[in-house]
Amino acid sequence: MKRIILVGFMGSGKSTVGKKLGERLALPLVEMDLEIEKKANMTIPTIFSQFGEDKFREIESDVLRMVLGKEGIIATGGGVLTQKDNVKLLERETSVIYLKGNLETLIKHIQKDKRQTRPLANNANQEELNQLLLTREPDYQKVSDITISIDGKSINEITECIIMALKEWK
């Protein structure tokens, strides 16, 4: 069974790159944020505002366990590694790819994105986002087998870099 997992901060392009990569490798895309909304039957901002972040993380962890049984490209949410059990689970996976961007790139992407799935980004200023990125960075690195720098690259370029890296790494 082929499963490729994309991790990285909000705005790193996990969903858009995941879609392209899925097309190139003929694998379905599984988006954790969508699966969370389906499971909770409400939007991510509603989960946060009505039940709080802890409840969101609980659902997210359940969804992670569910998607780790699937074949395909798995686009995780940027905060999935805030739960230590999730770090352990992803460390055991064999094809985890970290889409690494600098703060400037990430903020540019977050601002362009029309989806309303990021209450943590909406309520944070640049310095707070930077702190969050610095806190999360070690865990993205820890679970990943391959790191791809996304700065200055198009979706197609990032996708090709992943395909090349996967070939070299296997």
Applying CB under 6 A, which residues contact ligand S3P? 10, 14, 33, 44, 77-79, 117-120
* Residue among 120 and 155 whose Cβ is closer to ligand S3P: 120
Q: Quote the least distance from Cβ 167 to ligand S3P, whole Å.
A: 26
Cα separations in angstroms, 5 against 75, 92, 123, 147, 152: 6, 12, 27, 12, 22
Residue with smallest beta-carbon separation from ligand S3P? 79
- Tell me the torsion sign for CA atoms 95, 26, 64, 54: positive
* Residue among 117 and 144 whose Cβ is closer to ligand S3P: 117
* Residue among 49 and 164 whose Cβ is closer to ligand S3P: 49
Which residue has tokens 């409840």?
55
Q: Quote the least distance from Cβ 5 to ligand S3P, whole Å.
A: 13
Distant-in-sequence, close-in-space partners of 5: CB < 8 Å, separation ≥ 6: 73, 74, 76, 90, 93, 95, 96, 97
CA 124 to chain centre: 19
Q: Quote the least distance from Cβ 41 to ligand S3P, whole Å.
A: 16
Q: Quote the least distance from Cβ 13 to ligand S3P, whole Å.
A: 9
* Residue among 133 and 162 whose Cβ is closer to ligand S3P: 133
9 and 110 in contact (C-beta within 8 Å)?
no
| 3-state SS assignment for residue 166 | helix
CA distance 128 to 136: 12
Q: Quote the least distance from Cβ 50 to ligand S3P, whole Å.
A: 14
* Residue among 135 and 156 whose Cβ is closer to ligand S3P: 135
